[in-house]
Amino acid sequence: MSFTVVTFLLTILFFGTYDAHGLQKSKHNKVVVCYVASWAAYRPYQGAFSIANLRPEFCTHLVYAFAGLNVTSWTIRSLDPWADTEKDVIGNYRKMTALRQQYPGLKISLGIGGWNEGSKNYSQLASSPDRRRIFIASTIEFLRMYEFDGLDLDWEFPGSRGGVPDDKLNFLRLVKELSDAYREPRLSLTAAISADKKTIDQAYNIPEISKYLDHIFVMAYDYHGTWDKKALPNSPLRSNDGLNVEDSITYLLQQGAPAEKLVLGLPMYGRTYILTTPPEKPDVNPIGLPALTTGFKGPYTGQEGFMGFNEICEAQTSSEVWTTGWDNDTNTAYAIKQNHVVFYDSIKSIEAKVEYAKKKKLAGVMVWSIDTDDFRGKCYKSEFPIMKAINKVLADTSDTLTSPVPVPGPNTSSVQFISYIVLMLSIMMIYFTV
């Protein structure tokens, strides 16, 4: 084969592998949604996570968590105005949306709500057509101002925690009206929903909201916790009590949720317990053992009954003596130290859940939240081991990252310039040969 043909083919190959911005194209076609907890920046020591620590190449979508609701004006508002809009002059909102300049395929949404925002105020908002109209208009202005691609509704949960039975219908009305209003400005609309069957029944008209939401993020975790007064897995893949990932997804599909809109939520954290009596042997399986109503805290997150994956793996690699184990029935990892127990998702259990999402032909997966992965690489040979494992399984290859991925070495402009030179040389060689 002549030099001309070889050069030309190399050029075509180059442009087939990289887009116009010098970024690798996707190795899979699944959604990988990464929630970013804005308050993670305030965590102490090595647990502090800022926009600078973010690795968008592992995600197709980012969700900034959270904005809130102004119950005086019924408009969207920042929950941390200094950090969100003023920090380092531009604020974290614009820092995050500016990532699209380096990662053109990235979609970035703003989440509103969350557990701490409760349900009562959102119930009152959704019950009034006038309040809904004001709120919707405010979100369009807000999203445009900070250049977000869309809104993620995190009302936890319609019909409970201060909500009323009419929330189910009013949530549908809110979703439909948001969808209609977002059509012209081309904003996306998603919602994070409970994985609990009882909550699903009282909160969501699944077939109807599915018509108006671009994706539905299933929060398939917090099935158990210290409220059970016994040690049980946070997010079992399967179980005998119906509180597990497989039963939740099966139920949602039966209720009319399209598989292509469902996004399976994966927890990057575990639930902690303090047993009422330490086990006689450290290698005992702790499932079902009696526990106190309060769990222990991690050094970074500082929340009772909760530890991030980074905190869990660091504890196991420290001088503390933890005994690790695996429960086959629930596909769950656990660790024990005297009367302290934590159930969590390891890389092994995460991989199994991603395989399940692929098997069920779901839209993809979501993580809560990327800031509690081992993002500093203190436990593994490299940073973000869970995010890498997720993308590896989705791509079904041993070494991959999801789109968009910056090419190491030359910067984007250099890659584009070199590509241009190669292309021009190929054209010249073809011309002179002919």
DSSP label at 221?
-
Q: How far is CA 91 from the centre of its chain?
A: 22
Distance CA 258, CA 266 (A): 19
Provide the 10 A C-beta neighbour count for residue 4. 17
Report how far Cα 307 is from the mean position of its chain's Cα atoms.
17
State how far the Cα of 175 lies from the Cα of 150, in Å rounded to an integer.
13
What are the φ and ψ backbone dihedral angles of 306, each rounded to 5 degrees? -145, 135
Omega of the bond leading into 239 within 30 degrees of 0 (cis): no
Angle separating helix axes 347-359 and 245-254, nearest 10 degrees? 20
Q: What's the CA gap between 38 and 132, in Å, rounded?
A: 26
For the chain, the residue count is 434
Q: Where are the alpha helices (DSSP H) in 334-411?
A: 347-359, 385-395
The two three-digit tokens of residue 27, written as one number = 């190795």
Residue 127, SS3?
Answer: coil
Cα 76 to Cα 153: distance, rounded to the nearest angstrom:
11
Among this protein's residues, is 320 annotated catalytic?
no
Show Cβ contacts of residue 260 under 8 Å, excluding neighbours closer than 6 positions: 361, 362, 363
Helix, coil or strand: residue 434: coil
Cβ atoms of 31 and 60 closer than 8 Å: yes
What are the two backbone dihedrals, phi and then psi, of residue 231, each rounded to the nearest 5 degrees?
Answer: -75, 120
Catalytic residue (one of 156, 208, 304, 351): 156
**C-alpha span between 85 and 150 (Å, rounded):** 18
Which segments within 195-322 are labelled E, that is strand?
Answer: 215-219, 262-267, 269-274, 306-308
Tally of CB atoms within 10 A around 77? 16
Residues annotated as catalytic are 156
